[in-house]
Amino acid sequence: MTSTSHPKGKALLDNAHKHMPLGVADSYRYWGEQDTVFVKSMKGGSITDSDGNVFVDFRLAYGPIILGYRDTRVDQEVISTITETGTISGFSTALDSDVVSLVKTLCPNIEKMRFANSGTEAVIGAVRTARGFTNRNKIVVVEGGFHGLYDEMMWKSDVDNWDSSTQAVPEIIPFGVGIPESTREHLETVPLNDFAALNEVFERVGHDIAAIVIEPIMGNCGSIASSQEYMQKLRDICDSNGSLLIMDEVKTGFRVAKGGVQELYGVKADLTTYAKAMGNGYPVAAFGGRAEVMDKIKFGPDGVTHGGTYTANMIALSAAKATLTLLKDTDALKTIDKVGADIQDVLARVFTKFGIEHKFAGPNAMFGVHFGSEVPQNYRDWKKTDSDLYTKFAHNLIKNGVMLEPDSREPWFICEAHQTVDLAWLEDVATCSMHDALNP
């Protein structure tokens, strides 16, 4: 069991409050005055906090770590690039095309690509390109999907406060203040796997729909997944309407399969966004797709503008090249798939022992845990699960040395280094954690 007292972490937070709002560099890292985590070191599938507590980490920085923290195979390539070439020049290098060629080998949906520095930037680039190509304005998004922290994509269905007995649909609200109402003007929202809602929005405003943006497996909604039929419906309705299909693979890309989620469904997007696992923790992202769409990025009044000072820097691209090469040439993803399946077996035994109805959602590399009798088919179904029990269980896991996000909307992320996890220990920890959750 880890220590429930975190004096060094608390002192670090007290000092950080002098310098940053909430005392953190990212609001989602603030877990309260007593529980905000300050990390001292990371290696493999584990992290050590500032007070020396060691955790097996299934949070993995929200998914970028696909091989393991401080993987020497990747880090050495980055170090070599820095010492032999440099970090950034404002010009092109051979690495640019090397990485795109690797992506194209893994992902047949990519014909041309551009780089970015984050998933948010990749989505901005893809959406702008779709609008430029179609000369339309509206973007359709799916409830429960997450597409970055920029104003237009920061409108969400308030399922948390939705009362299905009195409200027909959840209210659409911003993520917070500071987001102009005008940014919602061209955004339409539909529930996942709802054919009627999809038909309705296209009948109503289809003439101005530039694109649909979807996470086919929702990385911020417990890995709730689109059905095969729904994915095909999206492809068909976009084709018939002259709209583009954008698949946000920031979390699923190079994690759920070598070719990402599109390999699993066999349905290709017009544009795709990548980040996270692409660089095993280094900040690299990209968007790409059909050549005729991407070629809309050009100079001139009829061209889409894209760029960025740090775009395609050598640190990011050398990490991406090393990571993607390993994923292409080794059995890393097979190992991850097996480990994820084994961990679900462990959790299933524990839940069954306590008589808890449960369902897993999504692929083994990033599976969701839902306490209920059915696999949720959309974000509104998630509301029916016992998320309060999950949160209690998760907090107890953290106390016992297993790190994860204490919210059932966040998946369990698996990396190659997790193959060394002691499953017997994990079962004991999960058993104790669930017992304490049920008997506070």
Domain segments of the chain as ranges: 7-66+331-438, 72-329
**Domain 7-66+331-438 fold:** Aspartate Aminotransferase, domain 1 (3.90.1150)
- Please tell me the predicted confidence (pLDDT) of residue 165: 83
Q: What are phi and psi of 26, to 5 degrees?
A: -145, 125
Mean pLDDT of the chain: 97
- Please tell me the predicted confidence (pLDDT) of residue 1: 65
Query: Contact, 144 vs 221, CB < 8 A?
Result: yes
Residue 311 exposed, middle or buried by CB count within 10 Å (0-12, 13-18, 19+): buried
Rounded CA gap, 189 and 116, in Å? 26
Strands of 285-289's sheet, edge to edge? 112-116, 285-289, 271-274, 244-249, 209-214, 138-142, 187-190
Q: Report, as an integer, the average pLDDT of 312-340.
A: 98
pLDDT by residue (tens digit) across 152-184? 999 999 999 999 888 889 999 999 999 999 999
Q: Report, as an integer, the average pLDDT of 212-229.
A: 97
Query: Kindly report the CA angle at 160 between 156 and 166, in degrees rounded to 5?
Result: 100
- Please tell me the predicted confidence (pLDDT) of residue 60: 98
pLDDT by residue (tens digit) across 68-82? 999 999 999 999 999
- Residue 440: is its pLDDT beyond 90? no
Q: How confident is the model at residue 64 (pLDDT cuts 50, 70, 90)?
A: very high
- Please tell me the predicted confidence (pLDDT) of residue 23: 98
pLDDT by residue (tens digit) across 139-149? 999 999 999 99
Q: Where are the alpha helices (DSSP H) in 33-107?
A: 72-84, 94-106
- Please tell me the predicted confidence (pLDDT) of residue 164: 83
List, in sequence order, every residue forming a beta bridge with 42; answer none if it has no partner. 47
- Please tell me the predicted confidence (pLDDT) of residue 168: 87
- Residue 3: is its pLDDT beyond 80? no
Beta strands 209-214; 138-142: pairing state: parallel
Query: Contact, 258 vs 333, CB < 8 A?
Result: yes
- Residue 419: is its pLDDT beyond 80? yes
pLDDT by residue (tens digit) across 296-315? 999 999 999 999 999 999 99
Q: Report, as an integer, the average pLDDT of 78-96.
A: 97
Query: Contact, 246 vs 127, CB < 8 A?
Result: yes
**Domain 72-329 fold:** Aspartate Aminotransferase; domain 2 (3.40.640)
Q: How confident is the model at residue 5 (pLDDT cuts 50, 70, 90)?
A: confident
Q: Report, as an integer, the average pLDDT of 306-327.
A: 98
Q: Of 306, 242, 250, 246, which is closest to residue 270 (Cα–Cα)?
A: 246
Other residues' Cβ atoms within 10 Å of the Cβ of residue 175: 13
Answer whether 7-66+331-438 and 72-329 agree in fold. no
Give percent above pLDDT 70 in the chain: 100
Q: Report, as an integer, the average pLDDT of 303-332.
A: 98
SS3 419: helix
User: Which H helix or E strand runs over 396?
Assistant: helix 387-399
